[in-house]
Structure 1
Amino acid sequence: MSETLAESTSPEVEAADKDQRARFVRWREAHPTAVRNVRWALNILAALLVLGALLLPNKIVYLHPRAFVRIPAEAIIGAAVTLALPRRPRLVVAAVSGAALGVMTILNLLDMGFNDYLGRPFNPVLDWELLDDAQSYVADSMGGAVAVAAVIGVVVLVLLVPTVMALATVRLSGLLVLDRRAATRGTLLAATVWVTCSALGLQVLGIPLASEHTAALTALQAKRVLYTVRDEAEFQKVAKTDAFGNTPGAQLVPDLRGKDMIFTFIESYGRSAVEDPGIAPGVDKTLDTSTAALAKAGFHAKSGWLTSATYGGSSWLGHSTTLSGLWIDNQQRYRTVMASDHLSLTKAFKKTGAWDTVGVMPGVQKGWPEQKYYGLDRVYNAFQLGYQGPKFSWSTMPDQYALEAYQKQIHSKKRDKPLMSEIILTSSHQPWAPIPKMVDWNDLGDGSVFKAIQKAGNKASDIIADPTRSKQEYGKSISYSVTALTQWLERYGNDDTVLVFLGDHQPIARVSGENASRDVPISIVAKDPKVLDKITSWNWTDGLKPSHNAPVWKMSSFRDRFLTAYGSTPHPSK
């Protein structure tokens, strides 16, 4: 250690350092114009970075030039503080403020992504773990190399932005104190202009000139954190209250005894699929055709709307909200419910002792401890359905194959009890490329038949950034999933089959549009007229396509309404 230190401070090393510094000084003296230009370029760049960060919106729709022609109050206050401080505190405050501004910039960028995909801002307490899901989604949709590059880019961004922003604020603080008198006059003038613009409500292209944008967003982030912390304690109390928590099994869904119950979620099947002019024609035609085909086979349906607890993604929040009867709109609430004894709708069937219960989860590719909460005797994941064909982007297998595997491995087997099944269909998962096509049911085999279809399909990279094509392909994927499900019912359903199917959430904003509702269609299909007679008072629309003015309920209300309609007796937990 001492020898190394001695070497590093040897006369030879010191001489080399002095020589290098001397050469730099001579170059700087020989090129004063270049040095001056570089300094001004760095000063301008630092100012643009800081101003840009202070005015950066947190939604992509607000990302336009006029958002950056405002006067940020934070810059004026920062200049005043800088001019008032001695050198050492000034450098510390500038560096810390710059790093904090860099962190805020990253949060704004995350807000942009979350608002665009999930219809909500980033939660700084809960959402970090979702970034791993995002990485998996990119890997499945765009390939492993793109996912690795994206991860590297994010890591570099997280490290670089706060550092560069800190350097920029330190540089600007040094520039201000070079001429304190002029800087003070300029700060006072800027403050006067800001106050005037604020008082008069002056705007440029509809945006107020006086800005306190970053301060407002910082306060908003703080409120999110505070709300999240408070919500955890409050929701734990809510989850312990259950209208059917102490209902004996014999008093749960007695009017469905002997029925094979199937609860199916169709990925991203939202109201936009049925009503958006750019999507609906193809989907509505499929719904009408499927309604007619089911009627010919003896099945009839009623349909309505549920308002989902999630949007654009996080499908498990929609599943758990529907089946738990609780509003589960974040990961913290989800974890709380999964660890609770709150009765899920699927577990209600298990509690009766009158049904075998099973889950078909082609999107699950690892351990799934939620099986216990949902009361499923057995779960078939992506590796247990015998599929040997290609993946279709994120989806591990086409819905038609998953349904046929369910038929062969589960539904067709003789048993002493009827079956209650929860099935998650995944072919309509974004980025909607490539999309599988229906094949003859007798040709499905082990799924190898889909290799040519997958190879001939669109590439995800060609669809994901194109809003028009995303809409078109999204509509096709919903039509495919609905067709696969209803054809399965025509082919294998019987007098005792009852199918409940719904969407888990709307597609992302690029497809559903800004400010789209969170509504999803829900349908109940059965041959036995008594099943649908039980929900006559719901005033749902006949057929698979709910009318525009059909009843809209919160998704969390469905469990209790369903249990009540089919004869369950409430016995609240205490």
Structure 2
Amino acid sequence: METGRPPSESGRASSLSNTGQLLLALFLLNSALVFHNRWPTAGVRWVPELSLDLVILLGGLVLLATWRPLGRGVRGMVLVLYLILILGRYLDVTAPALLGRPIDLYWEIRHFPRVVAMFLDGVPGWQILVGSLALLALVGVLVAVARWALGTVTAALAHPAGRRRLGALSLVLLALYGAGRLNPHWPTEHWFALSVGAMLAGQAQSALAATVLNDPRRFAAEPPLPESDLGRLAGGDVFVIFLESYGALVLDDPAFADPLADDFTTLQRKLDAAGWRVVSARVESSTFGGGSWLAHASLLAGARIADPADYQSLLTSNRSTLVARFAAAGYRTLALKPGLKYPWPEGWFYGFDQILDARRLDYRGPIYGWWAIPDQFSLYWLHQTAVAPADRAPLFVIFPTIVSHAPFTPVPPYHADWSVFDDWLAATEASDVMELNRRLHGRELAEAFIRAMRYNLQMLGGYLRQYAPDNALLVVLGDHQPPAAVGGREISWQVPVHLFARDPALIEAGLAVGFQTGLRPGPTAVGGIEDLGPWLLRLLDSQQPPPATFLPVAATTAGLVTPTAVSPLTQ
């Protein structure tokens, strides 16, 4: 049968078609490993870069195909490997963009179900169903495209000419990458995206460091917390209030500082009128965008807890904490944790006399999103049940707030008349009022964060003016900067810390070590968050003169007066 086309033209057309398919396959495979995050969303955008991982994979497949044909089992393994690389790339560009820090899969994957539950709370079931089906469809398309593209490449590798071309391409690209690495004047290294394989190797190294290579004696070399009789408190209560996501961003970035300026001014004016004095400083947090428990542990242990491996090492140590120091001085120690919905086995390590979690609060008012309980209610509940009673021991209270936790919505209204909560305390059944979360992105997310910060300031001012004991010392600080989806990732790890007291001696002691009068701290950090607890113990010890420096003498003589502000993201 005649085809109407000479054999040479038919073969040339087939060759061009095969070459076109191969180029398209390589383009798709490369694109799947070089995309970047579309900040401040979880989406991605294409970037014209080359994938070093693809180049290495091609070279390996060329060598393997030269040795033996690529069977179905090998092709299946390559497909699975490539899908892992795609997922790794997505995590590698999305987590730092939204959180402001790299992700540690070994530690953080266990929190994934709860994070998903938090963001899906209040979302209608039909939206979850549609979203799940869309996600499954996307994954299906991704798998199909990857299978076709890899199949096209392996088909080309079945022929000597294909192996020669792909092998030469791999060698040329590797040479360009290597030349750029060796010669800083050559820009070729910057043509390539960061390697996903290197990121996965780092994840494996982190997992080994947390398990096989973990050193349980890590805290044996850390100096212990100083002893203190806490005599300068004269039996006054101490409240350590962590304002969730309260970072220096609210002071430094006009997008946040300007909308909150009047709130800070109003709070300062009302506290002055009520006889409260305040001094403020900055400290370097041990975490960014999340991982609040690392900041809490750093302050309580007086040691820098910068990752979950440090945290686990701390829990298996016999290190004494701030809680133990206050308990030894006769204080009743309380952890007010309205955001705690699950068992907290770590609580035994700190040795609190009582952990007041969501179950213990027995909140029966309107439900506000995933976190449910307004911080104002929690603080009022604490006051009515633990602070107001007479003939009690002095209190040491740790209170991490939750309203300003991601996703920052819904924000409950602030009630100037706190007694409105009496009805909720006396309720016999939970209210059926439900305020649903809305999915927020970009500027909406930043505006919700500002509203949550405004609520925090109103609650703090109201408690100080109406309820706080006159002899109390309140240490109010942030745990970390908000996630990078709110204010970006190229910012410091600093958080504000405020000391509120009526005792002039405590205020003057803060001024002596770098705190500034009022609610606005100076531009530099006085130390790390781990230094705050030891400084408080030295400050409150009546057997010693007030400390002249924020850091211990040993640290200042070693040149550590100003801590580094460099985060792992910029190293």
TM-score band by shorter chain is 0.7 to 0.9
SS at the partner of 1:55? coil
Residue of structure 2 aligned with 1:387, choices 363, 369, 381: 363
Q: Report the Cα distance in structure 2 between the residues aligned to 1:230 and 1:284, rounded to whole angstroms.
A: 44
- What is the 5 A alignment of 1:489-528? 489-528=464-503
RMSD: 3.9
SS at the partner of 1:501? strand
Q: Report the Cα distance in structure 2 between the residues aligned to 1:514 and 1:244, rounded to whole angstroms.
A: 34
Distance 1:73 1:182, change over 3 A: closer
Distance 1:454 1:529, change over 3 A: farther
Distance 1:155 1:357, change over 3 A: farther
- Give the C-alpha shift of residue 524 in structure 1: 0.8
SS at the partner of 1:535? helix
Which residue does the alignment assign to 2:438?
A: 460
Q: Report the Cα distance in structure 1 between the residues aligned to 2:220 and 2:141, rounded to whole angstroms.
A: 45
Q: Report the Cα distance in structure 2 between the residues aligned to 1:60 and 1:252, rounded to whole angstroms.
A: 50
Which residue does the alignment assign to 2:67?
A: 85
- What is the 5 A alignment of 1:212-223? 213=193, 216-223=195-202
Which residue does the alignment assign to 1:330?
A: 307
Which residue does the alignment assign to 1:561?
A: 535
- What is the 5 A alignment of 1:25-44? none
SS at the partner of 2:399? strand
Residue of structure 2 aligned with 1:374, choices 350, 359, 364: 350
Residue of structure 2 aligned with 1:126, choices 107, 115, 118: 107
**Please, which moves more after superposition, 70-79 or 300-309?**
70-79
- Give the C-alpha shift of residue 159 in structure 1: 9.7
**Please, which moves more after superposition, 55-64 or 506-515?**
55-64
Distance 1:324 1:392, change over 3 A: same
- Give the C-alpha shift of residue 543 in structure 1: 1.3
Q: Report the Cα distance in structure 2 between the residues aligned to 1:210 and 1:84, rounded to whole angstroms.
A: 31
Which residue does the alignment assign to 1:52?
A: 31
Residue of structure 2 aligned with 1:341, choices 318, 338, 342: 318
Q: Report the Cα distance in structure 2 between the residues aligned to 1:366 and 1:277, rounded to whole angstroms.
A: 38
Which residue does the alignment assign to 2:250?
A: 273
Q: Report the Cα distance in structure 1 between the residues aligned to 2:343 and 2:23, rounded to whole angstroms.
A: 53
- Give the C-alpha shift of residue 426 in structure 1: 1.0
CA deviations 1:226-280 (Å, max 9, x no partner) are: 2553466566323234533684xxx443322411111111111111122211111
Distance 1:150 1:305, change over 3 A: farther
SS at the partner of 2:105? coil
Structure 1 residue identity aligned to 2:491: A
- Give the C-alpha shift of residue 320 in structure 1: 1.1
Q: Report the Cα distance in structure 2 between the residues aligned to 1:42 and 1:476, rounded to whole angstroms.
A: 53
Higher helix share: 1
CA deviations 1:321-375 (Å, max 9, x no partner) are: 12112222222322222333212212310122x1111121110112222332233
- Give the C-alpha shift of residue 182 in structure 1: 5.0
Residue of structure 2 aligned with 1:262, choices 239, 254, 271: 239
SS at the partner of 2:450? helix
Q: Report the Cα distance in structure 2 between the residues aligned to 1:194 and 1:37, rounded to whole angstroms.
A: 26
Structure 1 residue identity aligned to 2:245: S
- Give the C-alpha shift of residue 199 in structure 1: 4.1
Q: Report the Cα distance in structure 2 between the residues aligned to 1:344 and 1:146, rounded to whole angstroms.
A: 46
Structure exhibiting the larger radius of gyration computed from Cα positions: 1
Distance 1:375 1:362, change over 3 A: same
Q: Report the Cα distance in structure 1 between the residues aligned to 2:15 and 2:128, rounded to whole angstroms.
A: 42
Residue of structure 2 aligned with 1:432, choices 405, 408, 414: 408
Distance 1:187 1:320, change over 3 A: same
Distance 1:511 1:50, change over 3 A: same
Number of aligned residues: 520
- Give the C-alpha shift of residue 168 in structure 1: 4.3
- The yes-or-no answer on 1:469 pairing with 2:450 is no
SS at the partner of 2:474? strand
- What is the 5 A alignment of 1:529-568? 529-549=504-524, 551-567=525-541
Structure 2 residue identity aligned to 1:110: L
CA deviations 1:536-563 (Å, max 9, x no partner) are: 32111111222334x3422122222222
- Give the C-alpha shift of residue 429 in structure 1: 1.3
- The yes-or-no answer on 1:139 pairing with 2:117 is no
- Give the C-alpha shift of residue 459 in structure 1: 4.5
Distance 1:335 1:210, change over 3 A: closer
Q: Report the Cα distance in structure 1 between the residues aligned to 2:129 and 2:17, rounded to whole angstroms.
A: 35
SS at the partner of 1:383? helix
Distance 1:548 1:454, change over 3 A: farther
Q: Report the Cα distance in structure 2 between the residues aligned to 1:473 and 1:343, rounded to whole angstroms.
A: 38
Structure 2 residue identity aligned to 1:222: A
Residue of structure 2 aligned with 1:188, choices 141, 144, 168: 168
**Please, which moves more after superposition, 420-429 or 77-86?**
77-86
Does the 8 Å CA contact 2:92/2:199 hold for their aligned counterparts?
no
Q: Report the Cα distance in structure 2 between the residues aligned to 1:340 and 1:302, rounded to whole angstroms.
A: 34
Which residue does the alignment assign to 1:7?
A: none
- Give the C-alpha shift of residue 484 in structure 1: 0.3
TM (normalized to structure 2)?
A: 0.79
Q: Report the Cα distance in structure 2 between the residues aligned to 1:188 and 1:442, rounded to whole angstroms.
A: 77
Does the 8 Å CA contact 1:66/1:207 hold for their aligned counterparts?
no
Which residue does the alignment assign to 1:225?
A: 204
Which residue does the alignment assign to 1:116?
A: 97
Residue of structure 2 aligned with 1:67, choices 48, 69, 78: 48
CA deviations 1:402-453 (Å, max 9, x no partner) are: 1111111111112332111111211111222221121222323344999899
SS at the partner of 2:443? helix
Structure 2 residue identity aligned to 1:113: T
- The yes-or-no answer on 1:253 pairing with 2:253 is no
Distance 1:39 1:328, change over 3 A: same
Residue of structure 1 aligned with 2:82, choices 73, 95, 101: 101
> Gaps spanning 5+ residues in structure 1: where?
1-34
Q: Report the Cα distance in structure 1 between the residues aligned to 2:45 and 2:431, rounded to whole angstroms.
A: 43
Q: Report the Cα distance in structure 2 between the residues aligned to 1:198 and 1:409, rounded to whole angstroms.
A: 67
SS at the partner of 2:397? strand
Q: Report the Cα distance in structure 2 between the residues aligned to 1:188 and 1:41, rounded to whole angstroms.
A: 18
Residue of structure 2 aligned with 1:411, choices 382, 387, 390: 387
Which residue does the alignment assign to 1:361?
A: 337
Q: Report the Cα distance in structure 1 between the residues aligned to 2:298 and 2:136, rounded to whole angstroms.
A: 34
